[in-house]
Amino acid sequence: MSDDETTPDAVYGVRFGPLKPAIREHAYPVTKEELIEQYGGFELEHADGTDRLEEVLRRTDLATFREPQQVRDAILAVVGVDGTGNPVDPETIGRETGDWSRRSP
Encode pLDDT of 54-84 as tens digits.
Answer: 999 999 999 999 999 899 989 988 888 655 5
pLDDT digits (tens, 9 = 90+) for 36-62: 999 999 999 987 889 999 999 999 999
16 CB-near residues (< 8 Å, 6+ apart): 4, 23, 44, 72, 75
Question: Mean per-residue pLDDT for 18-44?
Answer: 96
Tell me the pLDDT band of 100, cut-offs 50, 70 and 90: low
Please answer whether residues 12 and 80 qualify as being in contact, where contact means their C-beta atoms are separated by less than 8 angstroms. Answer: yes
Q: For residue 2, what pLDDT is reported? A: 45
